[in-house]
Amino acid sequence: MRSIAEKLKEKNIRPSYQRMKIFEYLNNERNHPTADQIFRYLVKEMPTLSKATVYNTMDIFRKAGLVRVVNIEDNEVRYDSEVSAHGHFKCELCGKIYDFPIDTDTLSSNVLKDFKITEKDVYFRGICPECRNKNK
């Protein structure tokens, strides 16, 4: 927990026990969870945890650059603790989201040459190898 506390302090975030547990979950699970999934998992060991605390903490982490918001579906906000440039693939059958490396610096368009791009998101949807093998 000490290194987590140090990471939070580096971003000027007070390292409360709940924030450290949320950050630990995000770094250990790597499953692109929703705030509700984070809450359901952590409330078992922290019965006083509220959904509002999870949502507020995720907003603090996002603003500090500790997590990225992943919007693959319109009604679903997920969080990713891998903040370096990469793409996402969502399996249409099992719903799992996979990270994959991609050089976003090479993604460009002459149509956008006069625009200031602040974020690049690359999403693919399809069927993952595990689900493809199950359905053979």
**Successive 10-residue mean pLDDT values, the chain, 136 residues:** 86 96 92 94 96 97 92 82 86 90 77 82 91 86
Give the right CATH number for 87-134 from 3.30.1490.190, 3.40.50.300, 3.30.1540.20, 1.10.3720.10.
3.30.1490.190
Measuring CA to CA, which residue among 63, 65, 66 is closest to residue 25?
A: 66
pLDDT at 112: 81
**CATH architecture of the domain covering 2-80:** Orthogonal Bundle (1.10)
pLDDT at 135: 76
pLDDT at 2: 61
Angstrom distances, CA of residue 18 to CA of 10, 29, 71: 17, 16, 25
CATH 1.10.10.10 domain locations along the chain = 2-80
CB-based contacts of 2, cutoff 8 Å, min separation 6: none
Distance of CA 134 to the CA centre of its chain: 27
pLDDT at 72: 77
**Which residues partner with 73 through β-bridges?**
76
Give the separation between CA 129 and CA 124, rounded to whole angstroms: 14
pLDDT at 105: 72
pLDDT at 127: 95
CATH 3.30.1490.190 domain locations along the chain = 87-134
pLDDT at 71: 82
pLDDT at 29: 85
- The number of C-alpha atoms within 13 Å of 80 and in the hemisphere containing its C-beta is 19
pLDDT at 44: 96
